[in-house]
Structure 1
Amino acid sequence: MFPGLTASGNPIDPSQALAPMDAKINKQLADVALNAAKSKGASYADVRIGRYFNQFIITRENKVLNVANTESFGVGIRVIANGCWGFAATNDVTQAGMVKTAEKAVAVAKANAKIGGAPVELAPQQGYGEVSWKTPLEKNGFEVPVKEKVDLLLSTNGIAMQGGANFVNSNLFLVNEQKYFASTDGSYIDQDVHRIYPSFVVTKIDPGAGAFETRRSLSSPVGMGYEYLTPLDSEKVTGVTTRYKKRYDILEDIKAATQQAGQKLAAKSVEPGKYDMVLDPSHLWLTIHESVGHPTELDRVLGYEANFAGTSFLTLDKWKSGNFNFGSPQVNIVADKTQIGSLGAVGYDDEGVKCKKWDLIKDGILVNYQAIRDQAHIIGLKESQGCCYSQSWQDVQFQRMPNVSLQPGKTPLSVDDMIKNVEKGIYIIGDGSFSIDQQRYNFQFGGQLFYEIKDGKIVGMLNDVAYQANTREFWNSCAQVCDERDYRLGGAFNDGKGQPSQSSAVSHGASTALFKGVNVINTKRKIG
C-alpha cells in the first residue's frame, strides 16, 4: 500500500492511503480558486485537483529487483484573461494555496496577452453540476497484496527458466488517477481512473552461433483492474499463439513465448519482396497509432505541434475536399474516449467535456480530426470532441490522442479463413521496432513473430522481417478485416507529445487485417 501523511504531516495507516479524495472538500477548494481567478479578471477558469498513484513491481529470474510505490498530489489552475491562456500549479492544496495559484495563473495570462495574437475562442460547454465517473472494476489491483503479485511474476519467470530460457524479466505496473475538475462553466467532476500493465521479456541464446532471440509478452496495457490477469476460458482464441480478447493469461503466454524464442533462433531469414501481410491486432495497434492516430491530431495538422515528432500530411485542404482517399473502402477508423477497458476511457476529459465517439476515416475517406475546445471552431465544430488531457496536476492540459481504432469487418471472417486465401504472405504477431517520418507518411514496422504463408497455409517461422510503405499506399492496400469476434485492444502507457513532453495512455483496437502487396525488407545485420 501507499504510506502517506495527513495535512498536518503525521503518518496515516497504509490501509487508508487509497481512500478516494473527499469531493466535498475538493469542491470548496475549487470554488475558492475559481472565485479568486474571476476577481482578478479571468473570463474563464478551470481547476484540476489530482492525486496520482503508481505501483511498479520488477523481477528477473528468481529475484525481485524492485517494488516501488509513488504518490503525487496537487492542483493545476488554468484561466483565460485578456483573451489569453495562463496556467499555474502547486502542491499547496489549501485555501491560501488556491488563491495564490489562481492569481498567478491570471498574471501569466495577462503577461501573455501583451505579446498579442488572436484571442482564445472556446467552444461552448454546458456545466454538468456535480457528477462522477469510475473505471469499471472487478478487483482493485492496489488492494491485492504485493506478495500475491510478486508470486505471480516469479511463477511466470519460473515457467520460462524451466523451458530453457537464459534470461527472463517480468513486470507489473498499476496506475490510479484520482481527478477532480471544476470550472466556471458550472461543472464539478470527480473521476477515479485505473489502469494495469503486466509484461515480460524472454531471451534464449545459441552460444554456437553467437546469437540470441527474445519474445516479449503479448499483453496489452488496459483500463481495467486486477481481473485482467484472470482469463476467461470462453474468450480463448486458438491458433499460432494463445490470445485473449479481454483478459490475459500471463502463464500461458510465457510458456508459448519461451518456445517461440527458441523457434526464432532456428527460423529462416526472409526473402525481400512483395507479400500479402496478415496483421494481428497485437501488431496492428502500433501501425494505427503512428500512421492514423498522430496525423489526425489537429494541432499537428495546423503546425502547432512540430518539434516533437513532426506535423501531419493530412492538411486541412484534404479534409475540406470531402473526398480525400486515405484508405480502401474497408478502412473505417473511429476515435473513442468511452470504450470500456481501454486506456483512454474516462467519463470527461481534462476540460470537463463529456467524452464521445466519432469517425476519423469513413469508408476510406478522411472525414474528421481530433479537436479540443479552443480548436473546435477551426474545423467548424460547435463543441469539443473531448480529447484534452494532462499527465498530471502540474502540467497544462492540451490535445491528446483518444483511442483510435480500426473497426471490424461486417462480413463474418475468421483469421483461418483469411489465411486460406493468401498465396504468398506473412502473418505478423506482436509489435516491434518502427520508424516514421516527420509528417507521418513514410514508415517501416517490425514485429515479434513472423510466419510464412504459402498457398493458404502457415508453413514455418521467418525472421528479420520489416515492411515499408507510405500511409496512403498501406491503408489503400487493406483488402479484408476480420469480424468483431477477433477484435482486440493494444496500446501504450507512454505516448509522448509536447514541449515540455507529456506522456499519455492510449489504446487502439482492431481485428486481424489483410494488406495486399506490401514491400518487405530483410533487417538482418550484415558484418564485413
Structure 2
Amino acid sequence: MGALMMPGFMRGNPIDPLQAINDGIDAAAKKQLANVALTAAKASGATYADVRIGRYLNQFIITRENRVQNIANTESYGVGIRVIANGSWGFACSDSVTKENIAKVAQRAVAVAKANAKIITAPVQLAPQQGYGEVSWKTPIEKNAFEVPVKDKVDLLLNVNSIAMQNGANFVNSAILAVNEQKYFASTDGSYIDQDVHRLYPFFNVTKIDKASGKFETRRSFSSPVGMGYEYLTPTPDSKVTGIVTRYKNRYDILEDVKNATADVQQKLQAKSVEPGKYDLVLDPSHLWLTIHESVAHPTELDRVLGYEANYAGTSFLTLDKWKSGNFQFGSKHVNIVADKLQPGSLGAVGYDDEGVKCGEWDLIKNGILVNYQAIRDQAHILGLKASQGCCYAQSWADVQFQRMPNVSLRPGADALSVDNIIKDVKKGIYIIGDGSFSIDQQRYNFQFGGQTFYEIQDGKITGMLKDVAYQANTREFWNSCVAVADKSDYRLGGAFNDGKGQPSQSNAVSHGSSTSRFNGINVINTARKI
C-alpha cells in the first residue's frame, strides 16, 4: 500500500471532484493545437515530430478503521513534444497549452535534439509507421468512477472496515484509486488519435493480533487493479472462482472478500509453520502474476537486454545471443507467454501506444522457447522487425515516452484441466494464493517470492493452512519445472498500478494473466527461522 501512495501518483493540481467529469477541450481544438506544434517543429528543422496533449485525472480515497485518512482529487494538463532533428531525439513540455506557447515548446524540442546530435554515435532509426488519420479509442466502461459521489465510496470503504472489525480484525485500512488518462496524440506521420483510458483499484489490508503471544498476521484483498469503470465493484454470478478460498474474475465483491480475509488471518495465526524442503507448487493467478512480472516481463524488455536500462532494477539474462540461437529453452513446453495491449479489463489495454502505433499481440515465449522481446519504433531494427510492437508509454505529458512493459501473460492450457485436477495429482505440495514479498537479482535470474495464503497438499488433498512460506529458484529452472497449466475457464488477470522504470522514474500500469499452474520440485524456505 505504501508503494501505491508514492508522490508520483499524486501528480497534478488539486481540484473539486466534480471538475473531473468535465469533458475538457474537444478533439477538433486539440487537432488545431497539435498542428501548430508539428508545423513549428518542421519549420525549425525536425524530420519527425509527435505531440501529446494530455489531461490526467486521479482520485484517491484512503480510510482506516472508522475514519477517513485522505481524499485527493488532482488534475494535470499539458503538452509534450518529441522530435528528431539531425538524427537525434529532442523533447520539451509545458503546462501552458496555447498556440503561441506550443510553437515555442516545439522549437525548444528541436533545439534540444540538435544539441544532442553533437554527441550521438549513430542516428535514430525509426521504424516506418502509417498515419491513421483521425481515430479514437475509449476503455469500454459501464460506469465512470469519477461520476460516483465521493460519499458513496467513503461509505463503502467504511463498511469494509466495519465488517473486518466486527469479525475480529485489530486493524484495517482500505482505499479506492481511480485514474483517467485523456490523451491526444498527433504526428508528422499523419495520425490524430484521441484516447480516453480508465483504471480502478479498490483494495484493503486486515491485521489480527494474537494477544497471548503478541504475534500478528495480515491478509490483503484479492482484488486486482483493472482497466474498467466502477462496475468492477458490482459482482455478478460468474465473477467468483470458488474453492479453498474465493477469488474473483471480471468483477469483485469487496464486502465478501473482507469477511473472508478476517477468517483467513485467524487461520494464519493458528497455522503451522512450513518445513523447508522441496515441494510441488500450485500457484493461483492472484499470485503468479507477480512472478510473471518480475521473471518474464522485465527480462524481455529490449532496453534491459541491451543495457540501455540498467540502473533501475538491472538488466536481463536474456541476451540477444540466446534469442538468435532459436532454441533457448526458457521454460517447459507448457510455457507460452504472450505480450499484448488488448485484453479487455487489463491495465495495459489501449488502442494505440504513445508513438501512435496500433496495439496488437505477439509471442515472447512459445512452447518454452524464447522467440521475441518488447520493442518500440527506434528499437525495431535491432530485432529485424519492420514495425514497432506498440509498447511505448509515458506516464504523463511532462515525461518523454519510452519502452514500457505491455500486458505479459501465460496462455491457459489447451486441454481441459481444472484446479482440482491439478491438486489431486500432487503428493507433497503447497497451494499459494495472493502475492506477497519478493526479491530478484539485477539480471532477473535468481529470485524469492512469498504470498498471502498457503495451503498444504498431501496425497492430492488440501490438509490445512501453512505460514512462513517463500520459494526460491532461478528463472529458467522455475519455468522449466512447469508441468501443468489449467484451462481458460480459470484464466484471470492480476497486475500493478506502479511498475517503476527509468530515470527520472516513471510509473506504468500493467496486467498479467494466467490460469492456475503447477511447478514441480521447487525449493521452499521458512521465513521465520533464523539462518
The answer to whether structure 1 residue 350 and structure 2 residue 346 are counterparts is no
Cα distance in 2, alignment partners of residues 173 and 90 from structure 1 = 26
Give the secondary-structure state (helix, strand or coil) at the position aligned to 2:298: helix
Cα distance in 2, alignment partners of residues 198 and 256 from structure 1 = 16
Query: Identity, % of aligned pairs?
Result: 78
The answer on whether the counterparts of 1:21 and 1:178 sit within 8 Å (CA) in structure 2 is no
Q: Report the Cα offset of residue 234 of structure 1.
A: 2.4
Correspondence for 2:185: 181
Correspondence for 1:267: 271
Give a deviation string over 1:291-324, Cα, whole Å, max 9, x none: 0000000000000000100000000000001110
Structure 1 runs (4+) deviating above 2 angstroms are 11-18
Correspondence for 2:234: 230
Cα distance in 1, alignment partners of residues 159 and 486 from structure 2 = 35
Correspondence for 2:516: 512
Q: Which amino acid aligns with 1:287?
A: T
Distance 1:443 1:385, change over 3 A: same
Distance 1:458 1:105, change over 3 A: same
Q: Which amino acid aligns with 1:256?
A: N
The answer to whether structure 1 residue 96 and structure 2 residue 100 are counterparts is yes
Distance 1:12 1:219, change over 3 A: closer
The answer to whether structure 1 residue 430 and structure 2 residue 434 are counterparts is yes
Cα distance in 2, alignment partners of residues 313 and 21 from structure 1 = 46
Cα distance in 1, alignment partners of residues 247 and 430 from structure 2 = 19
Correspondence for 1:76: 80
Q: Report the Cα offset of residue 243 of structure 1.
A: 1.5
Q: Report the Cα offset of residue 525 of structure 1.
A: 4.7
- The equivalent position to 1:391 in structure 2, one of 391, 395, 402, is 395
Correspondence for 1:7: none
The answer to whether structure 1 residue 451 and structure 2 residue 455 are counterparts is yes
The answer on whether the counterparts of 2:185 and 2:192 sit within 8 Å (CA) in structure 1 is yes
- The equivalent position to 2:32 in structure 1, one of 28, 32, 41, is 28
Q: Report the Cα offset of residue 500 of structure 1.
A: 0.6
Show the 5 A alignment for 1:101-500.
101-500=105-504
The answer on whether the counterparts of 2:239 and 2:252 sit within 8 Å (CA) in structure 1 is no
Cα distance in 1, alignment partners of residues 232 and 17 from structure 2 = 28
Give the secondary-structure state (helix, strand or coil) at the position aligned to 2:299: helix
Give the secondary-structure state (helix, strand or coil) at the position aligned to 1:246: coil
Unaligned runs of 5+ in 2: 1-14
Q: Which amino acid aligns with 2:61?
A: I
Q: Which amino acid aligns with 2:331?
A: G
Cα distance in 2, alignment partners of residues 154 and 265 from structure 1 = 25
Q: Which amino acid aligns with 1:209?
A: S
Cα distance in 1, alignment partners of residues 256 and 310 from structure 2 = 43
The answer on whether the counterparts of 1:467 and 1:519 sit within 8 Å (CA) in structure 2 is yes
The answer on whether the counterparts of 2:20 and 2:75 sit within 8 Å (CA) in structure 1 is no
Question: In the comparison of the two structures, how many residue pairs are matched?
Answer: 518
Q: Report the Cα offset of residue 247 of structure 1.
A: 0.6
Q: Which amino acid aligns with 2:251?
A: R
Cα distance in 2, alignment partners of residues 413 and 47 from structure 1 = 48
Cα distance in 1, alignment partners of residues 529 and 511 from structure 2 = 32
**TM-score using structure 2 length:** 0.96
Cα distance in 2, alignment partners of residues 397 and 170 from structure 1 = 32
**TM-score using structure 1 length:** 0.97
Cα distance in 2, alignment partners of residues 395 and 225 from structure 1 = 26
Give a deviation string over 1:120-146, Cα, whole Å, max 9, x none: 000000000000000001111100111
Give a deviation string over 1:186-245, Cα, whole Å, max 9, x none: 000000000000000000001211101000001100000000001111232211111221
The answer on whether the counterparts of 2:17 and 2:146 sit within 8 Å (CA) in structure 1 is no
The answer to whether structure 1 residue 46 and structure 2 residue 46 are counterparts is no
Q: Report the Cα offset of residue 66 of structure 1.
A: 1.2
Q: Which amino acid aligns with 2:87?
A: G
Correspondence for 1:5: none
Give the secondary-structure state (helix, strand or coil) at the position aligned to 1:173: strand
Correspondence for 1:61: 65
Q: Which amino acid aligns with 1:128?
A: Y
Q: Report the Cα offset of residue 246 of structure 1.
A: 0.6
Cα distance in 2, alignment partners of residues 56 and 146 from structure 1 = 10
Correspondence for 1:6: none
Q: Report the Cα offset of residue 17 of structure 1.
A: 4.6
Q: Which amino acid aligns with 1:270?
A: V
Give the secondary-structure state (helix, strand or coil) at the position aligned to 1:325: coil
Q: Report the Cα offset of residue 12 of structure 1.
A: 9.6
